[in-house]
Structure 1
């Protein structure tokens, strides 16, 4: 579904990604794990067209994404739940969800999808007129996820969904990620909580200072001594 080949991204004179390659197959949950500053968010932002690609290729369903606008990439079926949630604080919950559907034209279908988001996240329905900035961290994470779903993505990119959340909410969010995958959404998950990420993913890649140093099935990564030592506390 997604193929990244030799991807390089520069921030001025600093190269953040040094020619990484990986793929995501339809129906998978694939996780990118790594320490802060490894280049995980940069990878997602490059896929979404939010940072320019210096060299390399990104294809989705066989179509080249490099050079497309971010909204053009959303229209093709990729949506991101960004790190730190980034809800529109001064808009209501409902208006945030509508922003997620801004590339769509069918108002009735958008309304149906909004009702599905409310069914999945009843707390958002209770607070639909509330300003997003007044929600708790967990509620904002649900809103960011609901907003991404409003574009009807085939591939969902998730950047640190557990950040700043209590353990109970982390389990709830990861359970929702699994539910979405079972319903047919392919997921590329960036997550510092390697335990949780490897618990739900099918395959994974380890990113270190802009390079992919390891890859494999979840079982292979869980047995890898380097992964155990660096990311699993063993």
Structure 2
């Protein structure tokens, strides 16, 4: 579904990604694991063309999207939920969700998908007239995910969905990620909580200083002693 080959990104003189390659197959949950500064968020931004690639190629569903504009990439079905949520704070929950469907014209489908978002995130329905900025951190993460789902993503890029959340909310968010995947959406997950991310991943890639240093199934990496030591607290 997604094929990334020799992806290189520079920030000025700093080389953030060193020619990384990986694949995401339809229906999978793939996790990118690594410490701060490893290049995880840069990878997602490069896929969405929010940051420019120095070298490399990105193919999505057989089409070369390497140089597509970010809004054109959204229209292909590659949708990102950014780190830090970045909801529209002065707009209502309802308006945020409507903006998620800005590429669509099927009003009946949009209404149906909004109802599904409210099923996944009942608190958003309770607060649908509230300004996004008045929501709690967990509710804002739900809104960011709901807004992305309104685009009917084929591949959902999730950047640190558990950041700053209480443990009980982390469990809830990961349960919903699995449910979204079970319903047919492929997921590429960047996550600092390596244990949670590996537990739900079909496969995972370990990033260190802009390089892919290891890949295996999530279950195998949880048992890997070097991964335990580096990312799972021993």
Using the size of structure 2 for normalisation, the TM-score is 0.98
Aligned partners of 2:6, 2:28: CA distance in 1, in Å? 22
Moved more, 107-116 or 54-63: 107-116
Structure 2 Cα separation of the partners of residues 66 and 53 of structure 1: 8
Q: Does 1:55 align with 2:55?
A: yes
Deviation digits for residues 129-188 of structure 1 (CA, Å, limit 9, x no counterpart) = 100000000100000000000000010000000100000000000000000111111000
Give structure 1 regions of 4+ aligned residues with deviation exceeding 2 angstroms.
none
1:171-208 per-residue CA deviation (whole Å, 9 max, x = no partner) reads 00000000011111100000010010011111000001
Structure 1 counterpart of 2:36: 36
User: Any stretches of 5+ residues in structure 2 without a counterpart?
Assistant: none
Q: Deviations over 1:43-88 (max 9, x none)?
A: 0011111111110011001111111011111111111111011111
Please provide the CA RMSD for this pair: 0.8
Q: How many residues align?
A: 234
| DSSP 3-state at the match of 1:138 | helix
| Displacement of 1:2 | 0.5
Partner of 1:79: 79
Question: Is 31-40 or 211-220 further displaced after alignment?
Answer: 211-220
Q: Output the CA distance in 2 between the equivalents of 1:174 and 1:217.
A: 18
SS at match of 1:184: coil
